[in-house]
Amino acid sequence: MSNRMWGGRFESAPDAIMEEINASIGFDSKLAPQDIAGSLAHLAMLEARSIVSPADAAAIRDGLAAIRGEIEKGDFPFERSLEDIHMNIEAALASRIGPAEGRLHTARSRNDQVAVDFRLWVRDTADALGKQVAVLQRALAEKALAHAGDVMPGFTHLQSAQPVTLGHHLMAYVEMLGRDRSRFADARARMNECPLGAAALAGTSFPIDRHMTAAALGFDRPTANSLDSVSDRDFALEALAAAAICATHLSRFAEEIVLWATPQFGFAALSDRFSTGSSIMPQKRNPDAAELVRGKTGRVVGALIGLLTVMKGLPLAYSKDMQEDKEGTFDALQTLSLCLAAMTGMVADLRPDTGRMARSAGAGFATATDLADYLVREIGLPFRDAHHVTGRLVALAAGRGVGLEDLSLEEMRGIEPRLTQAVFAVLGVENSVASRTSYGGTAPANVRAQAQAWLDRLRDEV
């Protein structure tokens, strides 16, 4: 038996393998709410333009409402033989209301139907992800405000570089996530054009009103070219790119949490809610939530690469390859949502060991740059000369196995005779961070101001 939805040209049913490779209902059933919303908007326009009679429109509307109710209750029987969500709903509607159902597909193709459904889903999901990012930003900013003055090592190359505050470190991720949120907002603005009415690829001869359907579905305008409308998935690619960057930011912080939770660092501990134990080693406390956020980033990045690969060789307009656009996108954006929720919980529960951080803040001659700056500011050395003098002082301290602050004034004067007792004031880590008052610097007053500014901005957004 041929498929009644498209089988007029065919005399027999597809091979079982063809049915298996062709079916997408196993994953695109997720689009059911968007598919029904798009159909209702299309129906309202057809009725307003007298393309469908009020009686048929009423029957179709009632049938779609009933199907939506079944789907929401989990009672709808999805059939794999009907390929996808569009044909499943169409077949169910036909069984309910008879021939009137066939009028719903007037001036519409599955090509523009899936394009609008998928765009609606990605748009809704991008909105939800933006809100989740804001919630995580707030958790980080609150933690940063509480630890604006707590000193810790700042690293480059994972080597002690200069002391910073824990609040300053956390606020770095608030800034990153702010850009992530703006990327989702930018992607949403560009995707907010409606492809419905483009039909298969060339538009339609029916007197439709695409501006009406666009407005009904919350789009800013209809898409301007019917070929482009059904054949591009750059809206999904852009959302995936934003998701991949955001997931990478989460992964970087997750890696730091993993390091901080080790006995070797001992900078922070995760709560029991976000840790696991070992089946054989009773002492273990594993930061599995952070490790999984780090690991799942690969799925998000992989989905972006996968869809780019699908799209890179497709001529205009629609090709069945594009059925591969959804599964990876669904998985990636839902994975990011899970990672954002997990990271928000970890941040809220994170217990920093501020004493351990402070003791480590001066390791590795972390105040050497402060000493070089002092030589420029107070003695008048050119910075390159001050850098050289400081390097010699670091070498002296390293050779003795002590910190810079443990050298005597006489030892220091052996390298730079103009030094006075005042030099020791710049060698303390607290003095170091307090001196970094330039805009964006780690001075506690800066951190408090920035954290509070973000909390004020987020108050109306979360």
Q: Which residues are catalytic?
A: 157, 278
DSSP state of 161: E
Q: How far is CA 107 from CA 183, 194, 205, 224, 227, in A?
A: 35, 15, 8, 17, 15
Give the three-state DSSP class for 420: coil
Taking a C-beta distance cutoff of 8 angstroms, is the pair 184, 133 a contact?
A: yes
Give one DSSP letter per residue of 19-82, joined into a string.
HHHH--HHHHGGGHHHHHHHHHHHHHHHHHTTSS-HHHHHHHHHHHHHHHHHHHHT-----GGG
Question: Residue 448 has which token pair?
Answer: 């408090």
* CA–CA dist 251, 346 (Å, integer): 13
The 10 Å CB-count burial string (b at 16+, else e) for 45-66 is: bbbeeebbeeebbebbbebbee
**In which element (H, E) is residue 196 found?**
none
Q: How far is CA 234 from CA 155, 242, 340, in A?
A: 38, 12, 24
Side chain identity, residue 425: A
Give the three-state DSSP class for 334: helix
Q: How far is CA 337 from CA 103, 343, 436, in A?
A: 39, 10, 36
Which residues are 156's β-sheet partners? 159
347 exposed, middle or buried (CB, 10 Å; 0-12, 13-18, 19+)? Answer: buried
Question: Residue 412 has which token pair?
Answer: 């220091």
Report phi then psi at 193, rounded to 5. Answer: -125, 140
DSSP state of 425: G
What is the chain's length? 462
